[in-house]
Amino acid sequence: MVARGRFITFEGGEGAGKSTQITRLAARLSSLGLNVRTTREPGGSPGAEIVRHVVLSGAASALGADTEAMLFAAARVDHVDSVIRPAIEAGEWVLCDRFTDSTRVYQGASGVSPALIGALERLALQDLAIDLTIIVDVPAEIGLARAAARRGDGVTDRFEGDSLEIQQRRRRGFLEIAAAEPDRCVVVDGTLDVDGVEAAIWAAVEGRFAETGALAQRPV
């Protein structure tokens, strides 16, 4: 039988540096002989990528926050069913840039009720469980400055353009989730240099999985 893979999600505000760290963790896990898949939300599957374009372009914002949340949920159903669940069942380690916590924080900050968010989450995940969530935490001011530098002359997406107050509220939301679910979530200081953040993330991964043997070196 193929051993079940693992599911690690990365969360944080704009400009937290999640994408860089996912790439680094994927390389480190791959060096151990593990099969690793990286993905993202919104998106990650052909159907979900269509929804990603609609949402991040701002085209759906006129429909209201509840409808936007439903669009995210529809994308997640396709992503989970066609990519995430099959990969984990095949023994792969799946690293996802944003997942359910981003919906709780971003749509929750937009006024979507926790009841609706919870119902949509249960619909999309069914029995899927997250093994570890890494929350890369940076002050909102720093994150926005990083996002602007990364974007350059590009167009601000649907969420980067929100006010500093909203970005600060989102940061608090992620930290509140981490405090409420310490068995799943680990907060990493995203203001460290890139190598320092990587080291903190690896310490969290080792702490979670080393004793189970899941990180044992495999032939490559």
- Would you list which residues are annotated within the binding site? 12-19
**In the chain, count of helices (H) and strands (E)?**
10, 5
**Which of these, 171, 198, 172, 175, lies nearest to 186 by C-alpha position?**
175
Q: Is 110 exposed, middle or buried (0-12, 13-18, 19+ CB in 10 A)?
A: middle
SS3 42: coil
Residues making up the annotated binding site for ATP are: 12-19
For residue 105 the two structure tokens come to 């924080």
Q: Residue 73's Cα: distance from chain center in Å?
A: 14
Rounded to whole angstroms, how far apart are CA atoms 103 and 54?
A: 16
Distance between first and last Cα of the chain: 19
178 forms bridges with which residues in the sheet?
none
Rounded to whole angstroms, how far apart are CA atoms 56 and 170?
A: 17
Give Rg (Cα) of the chain.
17
Longest dimension (CA), the chain: 52
Q: Cis omega (within 30 of 0) on the bond before 42? A: yes
